[in-house]
């Protein structure tokens, strides 16, 4: 499939995933606020059990519950809010009904302005309803827990694979590394979050289409930076050869990070949780393995981008030109290829991949800080080296393996040490196999 035909289909795919993950499921934030009202309305000593949570058209949430033990009758709590999605009014509680009977204005005022603003309400949250036994029954709790960790690590695998692929695209062409991809990923995440908030404020009725539009804005912004970097930085320095590109990469890394810090200000911008869309995939030993449709959608999107790009680099005219220029730029130029054009387009695609990684973080976790991209970029560089610098498939494989190793480390050890463990393992591996998984993927000369 040509790259030009792929991106519109990708946008439609993302929209379909987001609609499927959010439609028919209550907003996570609104459902939590509605549940938090129950301890103020009923005695906790009698026991409060949440049976079901359902989204109702018109900015409402219905909570089915029991208060008073297993033999107590089922009751219905209905909460209506001032907005939905990313609207600033989504937390405004405008009406509360118990079994169809509305509370008075005085009761509603105290619940909204006193109870929900207290720490007691947060700690008294009865929690979401149980999701049942799941689609699959596992033999033990340990296996179910391991499956939950594995599913939770899937996004990190794809993020590292995207950053490693971005690094390999540039190195495979000019034999030099652009160190700023981590910062470009932070830029993509921050632009996505700002675009979502701006679109929600200007077009509150757009709803679920906001996220695909914001994703397109983020990728377009970062890709434009990649176009400028390729034209004004990478190509002129690649002609001169040597190590100036590494120095320029450090300069871009510092400049972009400081620019993001100044643009962000003193406070981080975090999106409110939107949609629920989780279901119990499996259960074992009383442990439910929960899966988020949003997470699966983002992972599927990233994998689709990686797969299509690898296929295009193997079979398309641009991919053949990229390999020819990487192997022998002078011979490729004599055959009519334009090294400058291929380098600029490669820079555009690589920075877009980095921006997609950062935007994925925003869609999954609600935001990204200006400094988060540095470590992401270094780990992506590590994956590119481990795969055999310049090997696109090797970079993707190494990114997935590093993500899996970090997830496995998290299961048995403290999470703050996983980067140290990753770099230590890389050092030991490269001592034994300096060329990485697939050896040195470079041609006889890398200059234009």
What is the pairing mode between strands 48-56 and 278-284?
A: unpaired
The alpha carbon of residue 60 and the mean position of all alpha carbons in its chain are separated, in whole angstroms, by 28
At 379 the pLDDT is 87
Say what the pLDDT of residue 217 is: 95
> Taking Cα atoms as reference points, which of 190, 263, 264 lies closest to residue 221?
190
Q: pLDDT confidence of 445, banded at 50, 70, 90? A: very low
Q: Comparing 48 with 97, which gets the higher pLDDT? A: 97
Predicted local distance difference test score (pLDDT) of residue 28:
78
Give tens-digit pLDDT for 311-357: 999 999 999 999 999 888 889 988 899 999 999 999 999 999 999 99
Contact (CB, 8 A) for 189 and 270 = no
Task: List pLDDT tens digits, range 110-167.
Answer: 999 999 989 888 888 888 776 556 678 888 888 888 889 889 999 999 999 999 999 9
Q: Within 10 Å of residue 300's Cβ, how many Cβ atoms?
A: 15
CB burial string 405-427: b at 16+ within 10 A, e below: bbbbbbeeeeeeebeeebeebbe
What does the pLDDT read at residue 24? Answer: 46
pLDDT for 195 beyond 90: yes
Q: For 54, phi and psi rounded to 5 degrees? A: -140, 135
* Whole-number Å distance between alpha carbons of 187 and 373: 8
CATH code, residues 141-432: 1.10.3470
φ/ψ (deg, to 5) at 169 = -60, -40
Which residue bears the tokens 């992972």?
299
For residue 421, the model assigns a pLDDT of: 80
In the predicted structure, residue 16 carries a pLDDT above the cut 60 = no
Tell me what pLDDT residue 285 has.
Answer: 84
Tokens describing residue 3: 């790259």
Distance in angstroms (rounded) separating the CA atoms of residues 41 and 121: 11
Instruction: Assess contact for 379 and 402: CB atoms under 8 A.
Output: yes
Alpha helix stretches (DSSP H) within 73-140: 105-110, 119-123
Q: Which run of H or E residues covers position 426?
A: helix 418-432
In this prediction, residues 191-218 reach a mean pLDDT of 85
Predicted pLDDT of residue 447? 36
Other Cβ atoms less than 10 A from the Cβ of 325: the count is: 28
C-alpha to C-alpha distance for 339 and 399, rounded to whole angstroms: 28
| For residue 20, pLDDT beyond 90 | no
Bridge partners, residue 54, by sequence = 62
**Cα–Cα dist 327/323, whole Å:** 6
As a whole number, mean pLDDT of residues 52-59 equals 79
Nearest to 305 by CA among 162, 171, 154: 162
Could you tell me what percent of the chain has a pLDDT over 90? 39
Residue 335 burial by CB count (10 A; 0-12/13-18/19+): exposed, middle or buried?
A: exposed
Whole-Å CA distances, 356 to 21, 181, 256, 302, 448: 19, 11, 17, 8, 29
Is residue 58 scored above 80 in pLDDT? no
Where do the domains of the chain lie?
26-123, 141-432
Q: Hey, what are 200's tokens? A: 């929600």
- What does pLDDT average to over the chain? 84
Running DSSP on this structure, what letter comes out for residue 436? -
Please spell the DSSP secondary structure of 147-203, one letter per residue: HHHHHHHHHHHHHHHHHHHHHHHHHHHHS---TTHHHHHHHHHHHHHHHHHHHHHH-
Over the stretch 263-278, which tens digit does the pLDDT of each residue have? 887 677 788 777 666 7
| Predicted TM-score (pTM) of this structure | 0.86
């Amino acid at each position: 499939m040509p790259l030009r035909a792929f991106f519109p289909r990708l946008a439609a795919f993302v929209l379909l995933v987001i609609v499927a993950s959010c439609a028919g499921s209550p907003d996570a934030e609104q459902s939590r606020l509605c549940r938090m009202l129950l301890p103020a309305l009923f005695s906790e000593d009698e026991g409060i059990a949440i049976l079901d949570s359902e989204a109702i058209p018109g900015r409402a949430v219905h909570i089915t519950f029991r208060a008073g033990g297993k033999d107590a009758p089922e009751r219905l709590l209905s909460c209506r809010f001032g907005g939905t999605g990313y609207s600033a009014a989504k937390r405004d509680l405008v009406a509360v009904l118990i079994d169809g009977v509305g509370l008075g204005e005085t009761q509603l005022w105290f619940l909204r302005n006193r109870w929900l603003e207290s720490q007691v309400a947060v700690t008294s949250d009865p929690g979401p309803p149980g999701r049942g036994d799941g689609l699959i029954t596992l033999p033990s709790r340990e296996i179910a827990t391991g499956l939950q960790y594995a599913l939770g690590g899937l996004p990190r695998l794809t993020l590292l694979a995207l950053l490693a692929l971005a690094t390999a695209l540039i190195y495979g062409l000019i034999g030099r590394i652009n160190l700023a991809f981590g910062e470009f990923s932070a830029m993509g995440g921050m632009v996505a979050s700002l675009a979502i908030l701006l679109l929600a404020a200007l077009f509150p009725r757009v709803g679920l289409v906001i996220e695909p539009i914001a994703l397109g804005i983020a990728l377009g912004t970062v890709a434009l930076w990649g176009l400028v970097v390729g034209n004004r930085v990478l190509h002129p320095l690649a002609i001169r050869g040597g190590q100036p590109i590494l120095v320029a990469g450090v300069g871009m890394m510092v400049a972009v990070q400081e620019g993001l810090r100044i643009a962000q200000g003193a406070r981080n911008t975090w999106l409110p949780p939107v949609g629920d869309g989780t279901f119990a995939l499996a259960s074992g030993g009383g442990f439910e393995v929960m899966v988020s449709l949003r997470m699966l959608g983002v992972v599927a999107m990233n994998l689709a981008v990686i797969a299509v790009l690898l296929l295009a680099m193997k079979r398309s005219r641009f991919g053949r030109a990229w390999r020819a220029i990487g192997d022998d730029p002078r011979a490729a130029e004599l055959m009519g290829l334009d090294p400058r054009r291929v380098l600029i387009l490669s820079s555009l695609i690589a920075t877009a991949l980095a921006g997609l990684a950062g935007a994925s973080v925003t869609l999954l976790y609600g935001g990204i800080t200006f400094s988060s991209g540095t470590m992401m970029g270094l780990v992506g560089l590590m994956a590119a080296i481990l795969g055999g610098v310049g090997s696109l498939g090797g970079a993707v494989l190494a990114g997935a393996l590093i993500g899996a190793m970090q997830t496995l480390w998290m299961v048995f050890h403290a999470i703050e040490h996983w980067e140290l463990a990753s770099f230590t393992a890389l050092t030991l591996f490269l001592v034994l196999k300096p060329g990485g998984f697939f050896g040195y993927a470079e041609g006889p000369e890398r200059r234009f």
